[in-house]
Amino acid sequence: MNSRIWPSWSLTILIIAIICISSSNARPFNSRSISLDERYGINNELSSCLTNKKVDFVDALRNNSHIYFEASQGDNMRFHWHPVAIIFPANTQQVSDAVNCASKSGNIQTVARSGGHAFTGYSSGGQDGAMIVDFRKMNKIQPDSKNALVHIEPAARLGDVAKDLWADNQMAMPHGTCPTVGVGGHSLCGGVGPTSRFWGMATDNIVEVEIVLADGSIVHVSQHENPDLFWAVRGAGVYYGLVTKFTFSTYKVNHPTTFMRYKWSESIKTPDDAVKLMHAIQDFGKHPDLPSSIGFHVQVSPTESAGASEGMITLQLRGMYLGSKDAYLDIVGPKLFEALEAVGLPIKGDSFNEDEMSYLDLMKEWDDFGSPTDKLDTQLERKRRNNFVARTSLGMSQKGFSDEGFRTILNEVWQRQVDEKKGSFKAHSTTDQDFWIWNIYFELFGGVHNRMRDAEILAKSSFSHRDALWLMQSSVGGFEKKSLVHEAYAMVHKIDSAIHKALQDDNLEKMGYSCYADPTLQDWKHLYYGKSVDKMTDLKRKYDPKNLFRNPQSLIETPRELVSGLKQWILSPHPLP
């Protein structure tokens, strides 16, 4: 008797162990397990449905590896996934047909790709087995300067938006500064740029969208039509459907603007000099009379040519003013230069630019990716992918850092440079490995006068973390052909830890920014969305109860009845930590 019980108990224990192991690895986005075929990029039911609907697509079975790779890969080469299909709809009806196909073929994870610049590869699924809706054929921009509006399809790139708006009566809208970022992803998660303090983020300027929901319906969303979705797409739009058209507010800029850049390198002789500089710049950002028409960031990076004991780091303030140079100098003189003079630092850095120019030329100045002759050339720039790791923090409240807080951050990078110069280690570039550069960006997100905090905008947006002075990002990156040296990961982690400590010591709450998604965050819902999470989750259950539109950071779990097995395939390549 016992001998018969023992084997059956051991089998039960084994089964429980397998269940526990597989479910402990399970995360919401994985909860519909991926079949072996899907693992290899094949789902025959989906393929025949897409073929019947005449939707153009690429998959691993029909296409050669080069085409399949190119169609699967987003901008950041650190992440690569194997989708079951990459579809290229030409119009909204085809998007709807494809959504119905994915839904009927086993609730296949469906993700949009507009510009492909997701930090984490989420527009390639963030795991194997997704259907990617690549909007590359839907990239029209139709400015309507008479009504101060622009109608844009999701795959239009920011650089093209800036050029086309300018060509139509010198109009503009707020957005980030990388010309090849897509309007789709950018404006659904935020979209912060140098003009955001004046005009708001891109997402704040959404007037209307057309969206394909999980049941395939095509819905118009505005303040008056489906206002709950209007609130949701303005800040957290990636969860509710595939946005096929946007209408944004636009603004006239038929007046001169001013570009400024001040770079302190050799004049920063000690970490304390850098702290004094950051202190003065922070006071400038917090000044009660600083107009919202000034936007800037401070970039901290290594000083390449420094000797072994000084000038380790460079601080560069880069900014813009939506007005003339004379008016700008009247503002900056008493609010920044006098403070710098008082602490004995060169008021305009060791080198500087203060140039009056048109708004379009200003946008070109902010383009870090094009060479001087092809600024805002999005066709050319998008041919080169990136390869980077980044961490982001929003430091809540308008008070900013104490000197001790700045010291914690700046000492960290200063000491690293000292160690490198002493030869303790070598951050190297070889033929196949690259340590491109580390950077910390302090972007002025707050300030007293700031459209991003207007009550009217806040009430109509799921982007809740508005009360931050600095949006900070530490990153290490290179271009696609080279892989990052492993030390790069440790470097970003160390800088981010120093920022975390400084925030903690200064009693500044740390939040995140979903446009700079970070797959390592545990508490990402709260960090990205704060008090909006509950309402967002209710809306997700209402509009996408089967969690068709999901990624590794999903608001809800896929329902149990759609879980087809216990096995979790080991997905490769996993993103590095």
Note the residues at the interface with ligand FAD (CB under 6 A).
Answer: 74-75, 111-119, 122-123, 135, 154, 176-178, 181-182, 184-186, 188-193, 237-238, 242-243, 386, 515-516, 551
180 CB-near residues (< 8 Å, 6+ apart): 75, 115, 117, 157, 158, 159, 369, 378, 381, 382
d(C-alpha 266, C-alpha 414), whole Å: 13
Which one, of 30, 71, 73, 23, lies nearest residue 571 by Cα? Answer: 30
**Cβ proximity to ligand FAD, 271 vs 512, nearer residue:** 512
CB of residue 122 to ligand FAD, shortest distance in Å: 4
CB of residue 183 to ligand FAD, shortest distance in Å: 7
CB of residue 157 to ligand FAD, shortest distance in Å: 8
**Cβ proximity to ligand FAD, 106 vs 121, nearer residue:** 121
Give me 203's structure tokens: 């997402």
Query: Across the chain, how many H-helices and E-strands are there?
Result: 19, 21
**Cβ proximity to ligand FAD, 382 vs 416, nearer residue:** 382
Tell me the β-bridge partners of 296.
319
CB of residue 116 to ligand FAD, shortest distance in Å: 5
Which one, of 553, 290, 275, lies nearest residue 444 by Cα? Answer: 290
CB of residue 110 to ligand FAD, shortest distance in Å: 9
- For the chain, the straight-line distance linking the first and the last C-alpha, in angstroms and rounded, comes to 51
CB of residue 176 to ligand FAD, shortest distance in Å: 2
**Cβ proximity to ligand FAD, 194 vs 349, nearer residue:** 194
Please classify residue 64 by burial: count the beta carbons closer than 10 Å to its beta carbon, then call 0-12 exposed, 13-18 middle and 19+ buried. Answer: exposed
**Cβ proximity to ligand FAD, 163 vs 335, nearer residue:** 163
d(C-alpha 237, C-alpha 569), whole Å: 29
Give me 184's structure tokens: 């789709």
**Cβ proximity to ligand FAD, 30 vs 408, nearer residue:** 30
**Cβ proximity to ligand FAD, 76 vs 105, nearer residue:** 76
The b-or-e profile of 427-464 (16+ CB within 10 A means b, else e) is beeeeeebbbebbbbbbbbbbeebbbbeeebeeebbbb
d(C-alpha 167, C-alpha 322), whole Å: 18
CB of residue 308 to ligand FAD, shortest distance in Å: 33
CB of residue 141 to ligand FAD, shortest distance in Å: 14
Q: Are 103 and 546 in contact (CB under 8 A)?
A: yes
**Cβ proximity to ligand FAD, 474 vs 551, nearer residue:** 551
Q: Are 180 and 382 in contact (CB under 8 A)?
A: yes
